[in-house]
């Protein structure tokens, strides 16, 4: 709620700045200073200024208010009066933009683009090292950050953090370093030392204390970042385009200057020249300090300068410098000094950029240091980098992993798709040895434990020992439903074998591998073992180092959790962590100051509501039994990673133990019994720091029937009722006694008869009881049978679901793996979204005779029936292409149709099932730049030079067709570099969605492809996926979705 402090009758204009001392708060307008007492905040008082004098700026030094007007005059506000100060000051003081506290009794004034130190009596120049940068970027404001630094904001250069002691720029915060916009409107700081910057795109918070530095903002690097190493204090980064290193760029400016040489016989004259030159320079300095007169100065208000760009005129200073040089030259000529001209190079600036090392265009997946060289793992071989020169060590082989031996420093193990290479170096020459019996076996990881080498393959591990110049190999098979790559790690004395969904322990005594049943995996594991000393693992939603003996590295891993996705981790010799994240950025986590980053973690109760949305006062929560469901909304700001904060709570009097940690900021209590309670909550940030518990008390009132007054009324009513009943009972008993006495006589005679009748009834009841017991046993037996049938149905359902999930893994396994696709295709994506657990759509690819064959198919149906068809299609395609001699798209489709019809016994009879599939099949001949295409209903889209062309498939399926079967048509397309080819099923364009619930349609799909075709292929995949989900909205997915994109 805002309250106006100004009476409606008071007209003061636009308020441009606010300041305060111990007694008053002051508001600055163009013509007035309005003061309000801090004690009352009422009865504003207008401080008079000189006639026709526009106010420009005011600032505070130790509770003294200084005021500047547009005529470059300086005043001191004393007892609500403006007292002029007659001191030397900068000529353009009316252009003051900001006042920054320097220390007690001193401020830094930003005047134009120059800084001055003012102590209340004198002005001093405050030089900064990057004055040229500030001049180019135009100052807009500034604040004090702490006792040792302050911040300057600019129009086009972001913000500068500058040392108060040295004037050096500590940080430059701009678009290049991650700021959304370089035009800064204002700056502020919070109690945690965070810097807040406002700009045209919103507000950003900068935490300068966090020990994380971004390195990918430097220019020169291209491609997707894949690896990093700090080698000889130089940062090397591997991408899919090659190897880059970060280098220092020094910019020099060559200047021609005059130097004076003494003439030996005129030493006295030289001394006179010195005095003249010094006198001249002294006069020039005094002239610079004299204020400029205001007679011809154009009056421009503070508010006009606030909203208009500053014009910087540099011609006048240049003219003045030229005149000074001419004067000095005249003095030298008059004194007959010998003058020589010479050229000097002055260092203007130092910057950094990445440079590519020529000779390596392969993917650099891992970089390992060996003595004074680097070894790089690529898709096409192993490379050596020495003095930034590239040599090929092993060529034409797919490298998966490099492992440096800890026991033999001269030995390196290379895991490849065709086995393990033992690499040794002798006399600076590499010697290679293949481990026998592992030929043509894909090895993904290597680990050395004492004298034993462990190799991880797909669902298999090899134990390799060396004995008498021979390798002894033992194979261990790891059970898994799907293909899993095996990795190794050691904790304490135990060797572990791990894959993405489980882990095993090696028993050295029995020489066996057993499953670790004590280990619970909540999500798929992720591993990084790019260095032999460090094995990082992502488990239970956080990164840890597997062998946690290194306490310092273990403590630093908590900072890795700040990144949403991590693709590479490297530890340098200074124990700094280098991270490549999912946004293709490179960061360093410093080991020097990570301990200093210890942000306070605070916790607040933001809101408390009931199911009807009624909000409660946080100071007093008292509700009736009908509203005994409450939601407590809590908040713990942690700007480094807001969604990384977890919460834990317990309720005194209801829940005595702390709950499990959760990211949920809402504590939902759907039912609370009546009583007094106290809720305790605490928060834990991503670094593991836990806040102090915060508590809030609340009360659920008793229902009215449990209130004391209601119970008292009930007691009284019950007592009266009892009295009445007793009285009525006594009267009735008297009447009944008389009647009974009469009837006793009458019934005495029939007692014997009644006794016999009762005994007969008793016997009948015994018989009925036996019948009822028998019926009960029959009912219980039926109930047990029904429950047994129910249990069998549940078990069958679980087995069916398990089978379907297993079928999904089989289906995924038979499709081409990402490793093969990466090897065959440079740039591509596959968007695959099954409607059910298993899919009727499938993709298939292979390589033969130097050509890449890619197919996208849509089988009849979806779910399990469609999946069966997809398995048939993949199997037949493997057989057709694997055994065939002719690589031609239409022939492959015709043979596949023959196989389908034969397998499904399709003869064309009436009422016969018409199962089959639609397909787009492409054959890429990248050597001759030719694309073959044949399609069954499905088309191919290719985009060249910004134009999309659709080539439709034949209008008949792969399977029996009611019309006369014709041959599929083979179509050839001439392709060139950067052309993009798309094949797909009809699931994307047939999806219902949008505001009107209609289909997406092929026209919209083609338009979307044309919009995104220039973007990287992974970005295209994400755009297609997000656009699909946005279009689908709440509508169900009606079909399987498959889209494949390939860039030439």
Dump pLDDT digits (tens) for 200-259.
889 998 988 888 888 888 889 999 999 999 999 899 999 999 999 999 886 656 556 555
pLDDT at residue 319 tops 70:
no
Confidence of residue 343 (pLDDT cuts 50, 70, 90): low
At 664-696, the pLDDT tens digits run: 999 998 888 888 889 999 999 888 889 899 999
Among 191-200, 756-765, 1020-1029, whose mean pLDDT is lowest? 756-765
Q: Distance of alpha carbon 238 from its chain centroid, rounded?
A: 22
940-944 and 947-951 beta bridge pairing? antiparallel
Judged against a pLDDT cut of 90, whether residue 346 lies above it is answered with no
Chain segment 700-757, per-residue pLDDT in tens:
888 877 778 888 898 999 999 999 999 898 888 888 888 888 888 777 777 777 777 7
Q: Which residues contact 643 (CB under 8 A, 6 or more apart)?
A: 663
pLDDT (tens digit, 9 = 90+) per residue, 437-491?
A: 787 889 999 998 878 899 999 999 999 987 766 788 899 998 888 888 999 988 8
Q: What's the angle, vertex CA 355, arms to CA 353 and CA 360, rounded to 5?
A: 155
The span from the first CA to the last CA of the chain, in angstroms, equals 62
Q: 169-195 in b/e burial notation, b at 16+ Cβ within 10 A?
A: bebbbbeeeebebbbbeebebeeeebb
What average pLDDT does range 520-544 have in this prediction? 80
Query: Tell me, which fold does domain 814-1047 have in CATH?
Result: Phosphatase 2c; domain 1 (3.60.40)
How confident is the model over 111-152, as pLDDT tens digits? 989 999 999 999 999 999 999 999 999 999 999 999 999 999
- Rounded distance between C-alpha atoms, residue 118 and residue 108, angstroms: 6
Lowest mean pLDDT, pick from 322-336, 935-949, 1009-1023: 322-336
Please tell me which residue, 520 or 679, carries the higher pLDDT value: 679
Strand partners, 832: 1042
Name 675's Cβ contacts closer than 8 Å, sequence gap at least 6. 653, 654, 699, 700
According to the model, what pLDDT value does residue 342 have? 57
Rounded CA-CA distance 1/477 in Å is 71
Per-position DSSP letters for 985-1024, written without gaps between them: -STTTT-EETTTTEE--HHHHHHHHHHHTTS-HHHHHHHH
Per the CB < 8 A criterion, the answer to whether 665 and 634 are in contact is yes
Q: Which tokens in the block code for residue 757?
A: 């009748």
Is the separation of the CB atoms in 844 and 922 below 8 Å?
A: no
Q: Which 3 state secondary structure label does DSSP give 83?
A: strand
User: Is the distance from CB of 954 to CB of 932 less than 8 angstroms?
Assistant: no
User: What is the predicted pLDDT for the residue at 440?
Assistant: 84
d(CA 323, CA 284): 11
Query: What pLDDT was estimated at residue 270?
Result: 41
What average pLDDT does this structure show over 618-639? 83
User: Could you identify the residue written with the tokens 């018409």?
Assistant: 914
**Cross-sheet strand order for the sheet of 452-456:** 445-449, 452-456, 460-467, 470-477
**Beta pairing, strands 55-61 & 45-47:** unpaired
Q: Is the pLDDT of residue 321 over 70?
A: no
CA atoms within 13 A on the CB side of 433: 13
Q: How confident is the model at residue 344 (pLDDT cuts 50, 70, 90)?
A: low
- pLDDT, residue 328, reads 46
**pLDDT category of residue 70 using cuts at 50, 70 and 90:** confident
* Residue scoring higher pLDDT (654 or 168): 168
Please tell me what DSSP assigns to residue 690. Answer: B
Biggest CA–CA distance in the chain, Å, is 172
Q: What is the average pLDDT across 828-853?
A: 92
Judge whether 55 and 28 are in contact, CB under 8 Å.
Answer: yes
343's tokens: 């050229």
Q: Check residue 365 and give its pLDDT.
A: 93
Mean pLDDT of 935-939: 94
Pairing of strands 622-623, 694-700: parallel
Tell me the two tokens of residue 1015. Answer: 């973007």
List the one residue out of 997, 945, 949 whose CA is nearest residue 973. 949
Answer whether 435's CB lies under 8 Å from 478's CB.
Answer: no
Q: Would you place residue 299 in the very low, low, confident or very high pLDDT band (cuts 50, 70, 90)?
A: very low
Q: How confident is the model at residue 355 (pLDDT cuts 50, 70, 90)?
A: very high
- The residues pairing with 203 across neighbouring beta strands, listed in sequence order, are 198
Q: What is the 3-state secondary structure (H, E, C) of 857-903?
A: EEECCCHHHHHHHHHHHHHHHHHHHHHCCCCCHHHHHHHHHHHHHHH
Q: How far apart are CA 444 and CA 501, in angstroms?
A: 17
Q: Which of 33-47, 283-297, 1009-1023 reaches the highest mean pLDDT?
A: 1009-1023
| Superfamily covering domain 604-704 | Immunoglobulins (2.60.40.10)
Mean pLDDT, the chain, integer: 83
Global pTM exceeds 0.85:
no
The CA distances from residue 711 to 714, 716, 893, in Å, are 5, 9, 87
Tell me the domain boundaries of the chain: 12-102, 604-704, 707-739, 814-1047
Query: According to the model, what pLDDT value does residue 973 have?
Result: 93
What is the pLDDT at residue 295?
36
Dist CA 151 CA 142 (whole Å): 5
Q: Name the 3-class secondary structure at 321.
A: helix
Residue 78, beta-bridge partner list: 81
Query: pLDDT value at position 753?
Result: 75
Q: Nearest Cα to 77, choosing from 106, 34, 15? A: 34
Rounded distance between C-alpha atoms, residue 77 and residue 58, angstroms: 10
pLDDT of residue 253: 60
Cα–Cα dist 207/357, whole Å: 34
**What pLDDT score does 549 carry?**
65
CA dist., res. 106 & res. 109, Å (int): 10
Q: Which two tokens stand for residue 192?
A: 């945690």
* 3-class state of residue 256 by DSSP: strand
Is pLDDT above 60 for 932?
yes
Rounded Cα gap, residues 522 and 882, in angstroms: 41
Contacts of 352 (CB under 8 A, 6+ apart): 218, 246, 247, 248, 249
Q: Please state which architecture CATH assigns to domain 12-102.
A: Beta Barrel (2.40)
DSSP code, position 131: H
Residue pLDDT, tens place only, 607-622: 888 888 888 888 778 8
Backbone Cα Rg of the chain = 43
Q: Per-residue confidence at 548, pLDDT binned at 50, 70, 90? A: low
Q: How confident is the model at residue 310 (pLDDT cuts 50, 70, 90)?
A: very low
């Amino acid at each position: 709620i805002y309250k106006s402090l100004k009476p409606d009758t008071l007209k003061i204009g636009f308020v441009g700045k606010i300041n305060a001392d111990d007694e008053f708060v002051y508001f600055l307008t163009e013509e007035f200073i309005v003061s309000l007492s801090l004690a009352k905040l009422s009865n504003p008082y207008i401080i008079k200024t000189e006639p026709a004098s526009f106010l420009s700026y005011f600032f505070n030094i130790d509770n003294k208010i200084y005021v500047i007007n547009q005529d470059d005059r300086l005043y001191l506000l004393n007892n609500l009066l403006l007292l002029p100060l007659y001191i030397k000051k900068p000529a353009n003081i009316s252009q003051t933009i900001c006042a920054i506290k320097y220390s007690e009794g001193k401020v830094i004034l930003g005047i134009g683009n120059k800084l001055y130190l003012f102590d209340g009596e004198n002005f001093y120049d405050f030089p900064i090292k990057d004055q040229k940068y500030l001049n180019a970027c135009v100052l807009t404001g500034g604040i004090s950050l702490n006792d040792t630094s302050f911040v300057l904001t600019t129009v086009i250069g972001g913000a500068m953090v500058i040392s108060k002691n040295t004037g050096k720029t500590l940080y430059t915060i701009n678009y290049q370093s991650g700021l959304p916009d370089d035009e800064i409107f204002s700056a502020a700081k919070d109690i945690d030392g965070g810097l807040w910057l406002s700009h045209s795109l919103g507000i950003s918070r900068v935490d300068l204390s966090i020990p994380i530095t971004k390195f990918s903002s430097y220019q020169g690097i291209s491609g997707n970042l894949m690896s990093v190493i700090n080698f000889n204090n130089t940062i090397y980064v591997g991408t899919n385009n090659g190897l880059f290193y970060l280098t220092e760029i020094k910019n020099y400016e060559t200047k021609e200057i005059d130097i004076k040489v003494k003439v030996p016989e005129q030493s006295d004259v030289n001394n006179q020249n010195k005095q003249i030159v010094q006198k001249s320079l002294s006069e020039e300095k005094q002239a610079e300090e004299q204020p400029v007169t205001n007679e011809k100065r154009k009056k421009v208000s503070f508010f006009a300068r606030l909203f208009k760009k500053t014009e910087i005129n540099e011609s006048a200073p240049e003219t003045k410098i030229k005149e000074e040089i001419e004067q000095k030259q005249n003095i030298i000529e008059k004194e007959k000094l010998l003058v020589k001209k010479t050229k000097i190079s002055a260092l203007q600036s130092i910057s950094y950029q990445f440079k590519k090392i020529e000779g390596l265009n392969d993917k650099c997946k891992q970089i390992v240091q060996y003595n004074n060289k680097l070894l790089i793992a690529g898709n096409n071989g192993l490379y050596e980098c020495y003095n930034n020169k590239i040599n090929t060590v092993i060529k034409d082989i797919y490298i998966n992993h490099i492992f440096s031996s800890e026991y033999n420093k001269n030995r390196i193990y290379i895991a490849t798709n065709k086995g393990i290479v033992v690499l040794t170096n002798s006399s600076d020459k590499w010697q290679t040895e293949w481990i026998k019996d592992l030929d043509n076996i894909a090895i993904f990881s290597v680990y050395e434990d004492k004298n034993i080498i462990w190799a991880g393959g797909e669902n298999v591990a090899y134990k390799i020992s060396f004995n008498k110049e021979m390798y002894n190999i033992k194979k261990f098979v790891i059970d898994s439903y799907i293909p899993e790559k095996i990795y190794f790690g050691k904790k304490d004395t135990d060797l572990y074998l791990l894959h993405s969904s489980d882990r095993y322990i090696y028993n050295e005594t029995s020489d066996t591998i057993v499953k670790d049943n004590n280990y619970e995996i909540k999500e798929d594991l992720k591993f990084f073992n790019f260095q032999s000393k460090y094995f990082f693992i992502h488990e239970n939603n956080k990164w840890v180092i597997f062998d946690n003996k290194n306490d310092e590295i273990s403590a630093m891993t908590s900072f890795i959790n700040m990144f949403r996705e991590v693709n590479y981790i490297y530890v340098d010799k200074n124990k700094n962590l280098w991270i490549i994240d999912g946004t293709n950025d490179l960061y360093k986590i410093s080991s020097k100051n990570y301990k200093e980053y210890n942000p306070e973690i605070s916790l607040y109760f933001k809101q408390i509501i009931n199911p009807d949305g009624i909000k409660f006062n946080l100071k007093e929560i008292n509700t009736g039994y009908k509203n005994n469901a409450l939601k407590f909304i809590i908040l713990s700001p942690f700007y480094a990673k807001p969604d990384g904060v977890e919460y834990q709570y317990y309720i005194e009097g209801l829940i005595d133990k702390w709950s499990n940690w959760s990211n949920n900021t809402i504590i939902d209590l759907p039912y609370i019994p009546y009583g007094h309670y106290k809720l305790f909550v605490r928060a834990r940030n991503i670094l593991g720091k836990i806040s102090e518990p915060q508590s809030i008390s609340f009360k659920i009132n008793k229902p009215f029937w449990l209130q004391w007054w209601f119970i008292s009324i009930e007691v009284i009513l019950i007592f009266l009722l009892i009295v009445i009943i007793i009285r009525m009972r006594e009267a009735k008993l008297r009447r009944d006694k008389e009647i009974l006495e009469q009837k006793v006589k009458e019934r005495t005679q029939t007692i014997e008869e009644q006794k016999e009748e009762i005994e007969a009834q008793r016997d009948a009841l015994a018989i009925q009881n036996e019948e009822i017991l028998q019926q009960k046993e029959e009912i219980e037996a039926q109930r047990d049978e029904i429950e047994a049938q129910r249990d069998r149905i549940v078990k069958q359902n679980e087995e069916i679901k398990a089978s379907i999930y297993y079928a999904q893994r089989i289906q995924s396994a038979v499709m081409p793996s990402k490793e093969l696709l990466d090897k065959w295709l440079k740039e591509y994506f596959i968007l695959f979204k099954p409607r059910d657990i298993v899919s009727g759509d499938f993709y298939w690819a292979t390589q033969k005779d130097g050509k890449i064959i890619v197919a996208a198919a849509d089988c009849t149906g979806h779910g399990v029936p469609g999946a069966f068809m997809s398995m048939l299609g993949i199997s037949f395609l493997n057989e057709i292409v694997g055994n065939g001699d002719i690589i031609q798209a239409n022939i492959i489709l015709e043979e596949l149709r023959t196989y389908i019809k034969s397998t499904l016994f399709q003869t064309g009879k009436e009422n016969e099932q018409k199962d089959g599939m639609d397909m787009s099949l492409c054959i890429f001949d990248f050597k001759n730049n030719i694309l073959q295409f044949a399609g069954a209903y499905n088309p191919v889209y290719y985009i060249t030079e910004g134009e999309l062309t659709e080539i439709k498939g034949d209008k008949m399926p792969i399977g029996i067709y009611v019309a006369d079967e014709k041959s599929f048509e083979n179509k050839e397309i001439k392709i060139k570099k950067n052309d993009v080819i798309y094949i797909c099923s009809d699931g994307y364009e047939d999806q219902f969605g949008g505001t009107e619930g209609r289909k997406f349609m092929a026209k919209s799909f083609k338009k979307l492809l044309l919009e995104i075709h220039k973007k990287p292929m992974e970005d295209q995949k994400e755009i297609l996926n997000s656009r699909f989900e946005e279009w689908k909205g709440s509508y169900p997915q009606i079909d399987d979705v498959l889209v494949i994109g390939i860039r030439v």
